[in-house]
Structure 1
Amino acid sequence: MTTPAYPPKPSPGDRIAVISPSSGLPGLLPLPFELGLERLRKDYGLEPVEYPTTRKMGSTPQERADDIHAAFADPSVKAVIASIGGDDQITVLPLLDRELIRANPKPFFGWSDNTNLLAYLWNTGIVSYHGASVMAELGRPVAMDPLTAESVRAALFTSGAYELRPAERWRDVSRDWADPATFESEPETRPGTGWTWVNADRVVEGRSWGGCLEIVGWLLMADREVPHDLAVFDGGVLFLETSEELPSSEEVFRTLRNMGERGLLQRFSALLMGRARTWDFSRPNSPDEGARYAAEQREAVLRALRVYAPDMLIVFDVDLGHTDPQVVIPYGGAIRVDGPARRITVTY
């Protein structure tokens, strides 16, 4: 296994591929998608390039694999970004041409179900980027959150160290993307609560791996894109977060327990745990209910780590994954977690 390397970065004026490796939701919900494309052009100076399945619902895994290949193989395209997530990208992975992608390394941005492709690129030797979908972050009503916009810009165009900081305000409740009224006002936010540190008596520097916890569990079940030689993770930084499906605290504990039984948790020296998503249209929790859900999830994480990695440095409520604002995490890139100084620095 070679250490993932950073691919060349795009510059303003370059072309960026916009693909839908999971779901063609842009075809059903064009409002946030078109807004996201407009921001790629106006705010970031990039020219979006769409593919046959970008707006196509029900596309086959092979069709989506073909679009991934086309995006990476095109020398005029300098970066690739996912429109949104989904739930079956794991079926695309066996159809990908690893040598084609390895020969054409490019920054890929995506999260949620795109954890599949992020893990695939990690094993292909390419650092990628967990965060910044077109519909959710770039298509945020009225304006991107400033913390998100700054992180996306740094991840897209720079290659140095970037210090993360806790959100001053954050959002949990979503609104209907099909309703034009959604895009007439910014989402309601609430005051931030900062990060919570555990075993913060040391500094950890290492390469990152992880993503959406549910997808990581699926990859482990399918025995895909998780190296069998777990020594490659020694001293690394694990980052995890949960989706809008709001998995129960018991499910979170069991997934982590199984990762521990596989010998995976023990290899990492630090864990960045994303702020738990606590609201969905199917489960519109009150703030109190949401706080209870988040507290139960945190205890589930601690319960597993007390058994399998009791000394691990942990930071809870990092603004990564299914949350707003959202910071971009380099997948396979370098992360420094400074416990005594309470600082997290990523290298984009």
Structure 2
Amino acid sequence: MDTTINHLMLHKVGLNTFYGQVFLPDICELSQEMHPYTRKYFEELISTGTIKEIAPSDVWYEERKSFAPDQVGKPLIAHPNYGFELLQGYPVFSGKILGGCIDSMYDFFNGERYEDMPILCEKYHLFPDAEDWKGHILLLESSEEKPSPEKYRQSLEYLKERGVFEAVSGVLVGKPMDETYAQEYRQLLIQIINKPDLPVVFNLNFGHSMPRCIIPFGIEAVVDVEAQIIRFTD
């Protein structure tokens, strides 16, 4: 279980939160220093208390396979990044961002991992209803478990059944770790959402893949894929 449920619980009581980063893998990265993209957003939040805008990283990094002492000082393998990718819909849209890890959202509705979780989430209404998603942009990212295309499909179907895609103004999807199943996820997002006018943007640098920015939840955001930027207006 990651922090997604904590964000949704705090949203339920009216508190805004910041999605990412994580102390050990981000601030204590085993390379000689923090990744520059990560450092930029960390320092902005610490020094100003907010994030004004988000742009893509120039690179993405492969997952570190070992955390043994001999890895200290060794950089991660880097690849060129290609920025925000518009899968469908209008390139400019707005709303307050809310969401989290799609693996955890799967557990909200499916008791395979935690038998009592769907019961508790339903009892306490921890997942926002369709009305609450209005005026929001859905954020989705996948974990280090790299969910199979079939699990990803079922997760999207759960969200669709809850009326999420009919309510939101757009969808932001994080880069999968090591780009595993990236093409399959793209196809499933278009196929399952099945709403061509709903903006869906892929390959954002947040969530479990490296490097990652910090996303304010509950703050009005304007997404401009053509300009390759997300601005927060509050």
Q: TM-score, normalised by structure 1?
A: 0.59
Instruction: Identify which of 106, 127, 139 aligns with 1:226.
Output: 127
Instruction: Identify which of 198, 201, 204 aligns with 1:315.
Output: 201
Q: Distance in 2 between matches of 1:323 and 1:267?
A: 27
For residue 190 of structure 2, what is the amino acid of its counterpart?
A: L
Could you tell me which residue of structure 2 aligns to residue 345 of structure 1?
Answer: 231
For residue 213 of structure 2, what is the amino acid of its counterpart?
A: V
Work out which of the two has the higher radius of gyration on C-alpha atoms and give 1 or 2. Answer: 1
Q: Report SS of the residue matched to 2:158.
A: helix
Q: Distance in 2 between matches of 1:183 and 1:331?
A: 33
Please list every run of 5 or more consecutive structure 1 residues that lacks an aligned counterpart in the other structure.
1-86, 88-112, 279-289
CA deviation after TM superposition for structure 1 residue 159, in Å = 5.0
Q: Cα–Cα, structure 1 residues 314 and 120, in superposed 2: closer, same or farther, change >3 Å?
A: same
Could you tell me which residue of structure 2 aligns to residue 198 of structure 1?
Answer: 87
1:187 aligns with 2:76: yes
Judge conservation of contact 1:338–1:344 (CA < 8 Å) in 2. yes
Q: Report SS of the residue matched to 1:254.
A: helix
Judge conservation of contact 1:201–1:340 (CA < 8 Å) in 2. no
Could you tell me which residue of structure 2 aligns to residue 173 of structure 1?
Answer: 63
Q: Distance in 1 between matches of 2:146 and 2:14?
A: 32
Please list every run of 5 or more consecutive structure 2 residues that lacks an aligned counterpart in the other structure.
110-117
Q: Distance in 1 between matches of 2:10 and 2:208?
A: 21
Could you tell me which residue of structure 2 aligns to residue 49 of structure 1?
Answer: none
Q: Distance in 2 between matches of 1:294 and 1:264?
A: 22
Could you tell me which residue of structure 1 aligns to residue 18 of structure 2?
Answer: 129
Q: Report SS of the residue matched to 2:52.
A: strand
Q: Report SS of the residue matched to 1:206.
A: strand
C-alpha RMSD of the superposition: 2.0
Judge conservation of contact 2:37–2:211 (CA < 8 Å) in 1. yes
Over 4 Å off, 4+ runs:
none
Could you tell me which residue of structure 1 aligns to residue 157 of structure 2?
Answer: 257
**Percent identity between the two aligned chains:** 26
CA offsets per residue over residues 108-167 of structure 1, 9 Å max, x none?
Answer: xxxxx0111111111111111110111111111221111111112223332566221111
Q: Report SS of the residue matched to 1:184.
A: coil
Could you tell me which residue of structure 2 aligns to residue 47 of structure 1?
Answer: none
CA deviation after TM superposition for structure 1 residue 276, in Å = 0.8
Instruction: Identify which of 139, 143, 150 aligns with 2:28.
Output: 139
Aligned length: 221
Q: Cα–Cα, structure 1 residues 315 and 202, in superposed 2: closer, same or farther, change >3 Å?
A: closer
For residue 126 of structure 2, what is the amino acid of its counterpart?
A: E
Judge conservation of contact 1:161–1:347 (CA < 8 Å) in 2. no
